[in-house]
Chain A
Amino acid sequence: MANERPQLSGNELQQLRWLLGGSLALVSIWAVWYLDAEAWPLLGLATVATFLVLWRPTLPSRIPVWLHRLAFPAILAGFAFDFYTFGQVLPSLVRLAVMLLAYRVVSYRKRRDDLQLILLGLFLIVSTGVLTVSIGFAVQIVVFTALALGLLLTRGLVDVAESGSESTDGAAGNPPPPWAQVSWVALFGRVARASDWRVWTFAVLLFASLVGVSAGLFLAIPRFQLESSLFLDRWMNRRSVTGFTDTLRFGEVSDIQNDESIAFRVEVGDPRRLPETLYWRMIVLDEYRDQSFRLSKELKLAGFGRLLTDWRLPGFGFPDQSANTTQWTFYVEPGVSRYLPLLSDFRGLVFTEPQTFRASAQLRMIELSRDPSTMKAFRVDRGAMSGTIRDPLFEHRSPMAAGRVLGRTALEVPFPAEEQTVWARAVAEILGGKKLPAAEFSRAAAHWLQAHHAYSLQSRLPKGPQDPLTRWAMSDEPGHCELFAGAFAMLARTAGFPTRIVGGFLGGTWNGDYLIVRNSGAHAWCEIFDEAGNWVRVDPTAPATGQVGGEQRPELRGALVAETGWIARLDRLRMFWYRRIVNFEQRDQVNLVKALRAGTESSSKQVRFWLEQNVQRFKRWLTQPWNLGRIASVAGPIAMGAWLTWFWRRTGRDWWLGWRASRSKRSDPIRREAGRWLERFASARRHGWESPVATAGIEAVLQRLRYGAPQSWPVPEPVFRQANRVFKDWRRAARRSSENRA
């Protein structure tokens, strides 16, 4: 058919592969120009070398084999010298990558070498991009990706074209492969004729759209902090914040209780010391106003410190001294609250990354600067689990402070006088004419409440002009935890005990080796200030019998049941992932790297000092007068070295090869070496080397070494030396013959 497109031959695909590999190397090398890596001469040399081999792909065949063999050790030695002399890790690595890249570019590459070329280029591009963060990086990575994809595609096509036949990749020391004779203009013409513009257009559009979408996501999603993104955080916050704020309206906790999703997970340091019932404190609410409890401005100002940005926080209160190794690790889901769940006292707290927050040692609370939209993890050392919190500041409050700031809100019953009378009557009924201490009063008040009200999430408020809390407390209607806690607080305050509401979570369930706390575990309880200067936890909610302090409710024993089912298994997977990504030792690692770098710099200084000293010493030694003894001291080691070399080549090497052969049957080095020489001869013959040099004799001996019985082998080393001589003669003769023909 006249309009049939030609197909690219194997040689043309190889030429295309060579061009793409060279271009990829150039892009990678040029990326380093943006980096202050002090590699200008190296970059210049690598660029020139790349252009040369692109212009003449036959050039790599002219590189002597010994140079090819020495290149890699020399590059490694250069890197070691560079690193020890200058003591800079990254610039040395970049220079190493440039050298390796240049080495790969100027040699014929097999499949593995093409992949190495891509990886080295990727290292250079990404290193430059991360360090410079320039728009040029975006362009370079796009161009690099396109070239790498093209290179991989052509590599695959070459492999398919050559499947089952001899590879034409070329090799060091061999004649140039047939495709190395290239005319780029002719190749481009062939590629153009073989290409379908529709496929090209589709491919370019696909790649462009992929780049476009990636760029969009790159701009929209910040690399490290989702909070810093352009718009996504607002979407997420609106959708996901369901938890506690600093104002608690009646019914809010009940709303949260309907949410069965996970609020946070906790890794418990010592499960044996875990109480049966866990109260996870998040927020303290001291002021009752506008039919809701809230954290008063006064308390917030007095109790909280300034806004900090740190990843570490010193402890609160009086940590559990007996539990030296107890650590609690919290993984708080986004949207739960900006207040972090805590038990009570602790020795220290560490975040995985620096956070902006306020902390209150007095209230045992931590408030993040904004509602987190990603999972937040923190670790608490020596967390205490008691139900009492010491508060010396509140205990020793000045009359002014007590009346105006710290005491007012905790004692305030903000009702009109006639309503306060109602509450006073209730308190009188509870006290029964006696004066009770805080703990006794708490039990009696909780008892009184539970005698009048049942627990229900569906509470009903009687109608009337009074405050809803008064209406409920003085009725027989069932209620939820907020109403119980609120009513208790008002009763205690009326009786003269400072009392506050605490919002948080109750209990949890085991899933493997960690606890799950769900939003449905949201709870409100009270803290009453006792005569000993402690805030004592009181949970007046039915069916509890007025649990006070660290008392355990018998009916809640075993409440920490285990989760089962595939959802639990999935959650364990999620926890596994959290544990993988959460790293509390990040700062320690940074410090370690800094220490390593300092150590490297110091050792490199020592090495330089040692070198300088020895050079000076050598110079002094050279300038001393020469006599027979000194000459002998120099000539002796040289002669010994020469003899050792001769002995090694004569006997030692054969012994070494034989010993290795006896140890490993499959990787017999003599057979391998003979095989390499046979392949070299065969490759030369395939490439049409013509010369009068007789190779049959040496090839027969090499065949015996490669395939013959070991007991029939000649001594291998002279055979390989002779093969080397014959091959060189052959190559010389072939070149002369080729030049004569030209």
Chain B
Amino acid sequence: MSDFVPQAAVTATQRAFERLRTSMRQTIKGKDDVIEHVLTCLVAGGHVLMEDLPGVGKTTLAYSLARSMDCTFSRIQFTSDLLPSDVTGVSIYDEHVREFIFKRGPVFANIVLADEINRATPKTQSALLEVMDRARVTIDGEPHTVGSPFMVFATQNPVDYEGTFPLPESQMDRFLMRLHMGYPQAPDEMDILRSARIAYDTIEVNAVTSAGEVVEAQRLSHQVFVEDSVLEFILKIVAATRTEAEFKAGVSVRGGLALRQAAQARALLHGRDFVLPDDVHHLIFPVLAHRLALTRPSSDAREERQAIVSALKRIVGAIPQPV
């Protein structure tokens, strides 16, 4: 963070991600803010939890991101009988070489779509979460590094909870952001209807940037400067969630760090080598809301999330931005 970032590198990164943004806009209509957050998450090296109804473009978003940066993409449909080895891979005996060889699971890709993650058992969920945390899989004591860059798009349906295993708060903390796609606006939906799209893997997307450029951006983002008053702003927000009576527990230290990393990534995407308070302000809700739980939980999940966002808004409103 203290290292000085060369302006040329910042500008190059900004241009690369501008191309990426333009490419994704062609497939995901009218969701610029979601694309923005996904790219921020990518640069910050985090993972996204997409919470929305089926069929609003979550898979397409992940697929177009992977294709736009010339990266591998895999999709795992989580079900209650899915085993950890179905995700991470398994060692099988090869008669030809007469030894166990590791057969990689679908998690060995750059962009992994974990569809309906809450339908799998906690054991399988944990297997994925371990990969998310360490970016590697350990089988029979041998580590296997997953792709670089590596990003997990987990999705879950916010309405249908029957037969699911909700992610505990400690595991929710591993996702950098929770995003909602929402329905598109009418003109955008009209564009989608006009297009002859059948399935996400039939979309033609050209690679506009490389995995190497993304990794370089991830490295640079750690060097983006954060001034003390901005850090204090983050600290005040985090501290305020811990004293708020409506929340069962406040944001963890990891949550505060996540907010800082995301703000650094956003600053880089905007061509800056320093963070503005605005960067933090834009990212408070996607980064922090899913890390909080109400003291009195509501029976309706959507209502509960709304209540969390309202309380968070009130808290943030009372904290002045540094001038």
Contacts and interface: CB of A to CB of B under 8 A. Distances in A.
Given A164-B317, A164-B318, A165-B317, A708 B225 contact: yes
A678 B317 contact: no
A709 interface: yes
B273 A679 contact: no
Interface in B136-160: none
Interface string A383-423: 00000000000000000000000000000000000000000
A372 to B, nearest CB: 58
Given A703-B276, A704-B274, A708-B273, A665 B228 contact: yes
Nearest to A708: B274
A671 B318 contact: no
Tell which of B229, B230, B277 has the most Cβ of chain A within 10 Å.
B229
A665 B274 CA distance: 17
Contacts of B165: none
B4 interface: yes
Q: Mostly helix, strand, loop or mixed at chain A's interface?
A: helix
Nearest to B317: A164
B38 to A, nearest CB: 25
B227 interface: yes
B163 to A, nearest CB: 42
Interface in A662-712: 665-666, 671, 675-676, 678-679, 703-704, 706-709, 711-712
A627 interface: no
A164 to B, nearest CB: 3
A284 B318 CA distance: 76
Interface of B: 2, 4, 225, 227-230, 272-277, 314, 317-318, 322-323
Contacts of B2: 709
Given A679-B323, A707-B227, A712 B318 contact: no
Contacts of B273: 708-709, 712
B4 A712 contact: yes
Contacts of A706: 227
Nearest to A166: B320
A262 to B, nearest CB: 51
A163 interface: yes
B323 A678 contact: yes
6 contacts: A676-B323, A707-B276, A709-B2, A709-B4, A712-B225, A712-B274
Contacts of A704: 274
B317 A707 contact: no
A675 B4 contact: no
A675 B276 CA distance: 12
Contacts of B317: 163-165
Contacts of B314: 164
A110 to B, nearest CB: 14
Among A665, A703, A709: residue with most chain B CB under 10 A: A709
Interface of A: 163-165, 665-666, 671, 675-676, 678-679, 703-704, 706-709, 711-712
Closest 6 CB pairs of A and B: A164-B317, A709-B225, A708-B274, A707-B227, A675-B323, A707-B274
A668 to B, nearest CB: 9
Given A163-B318, A679-B323, A671 B4 contact: no
Given A163-B318, A707-B274, A708-B273, 19 more contacts: A163-B317, A164-B314, A164-B317, A665-B228, A675-B322, A676-B323, A678-B323, A679-B323, A703-B274, A703-B276, A707-B230, A707-B275, A707-B277, A708-B227, A709-B4, A709-B273, A711-B4, A712-B225, A712-B273
A128 to B, nearest CB: 40
Contacts of B230: 707
Nearest to B267: A707
A611 B79 CA distance: 97
Contacts of A165: 317
Contacts of B225: 707-709, 712
B274 A709 contact: yes
A22 to B, nearest CB: 29
Nearest to A682: B323
A587 B120 CA distance: 91
B31 to A, nearest CB: 26
Contacts of B274: 703-704, 707-709, 712
A679 B277 CA distance: 13
Contacts of A707: 225, 227, 229-230, 274-277
A706 B272 CA distance: 13
A679 B321 CA distance: 11
A712 B229 CA distance: 18
A510 B149 CA distance: 85
Nearest to B224: A709
Contacts of A671: 227, 229
Contacts of B322: 675
Contacts of A709: 2, 4, 225, 273-274
A165 B228 CA distance: 23
Contacts of B228: 665-666
Nearest to B313: A164
A675 B277 CA distance: 12
Contacts of A675: 322-323
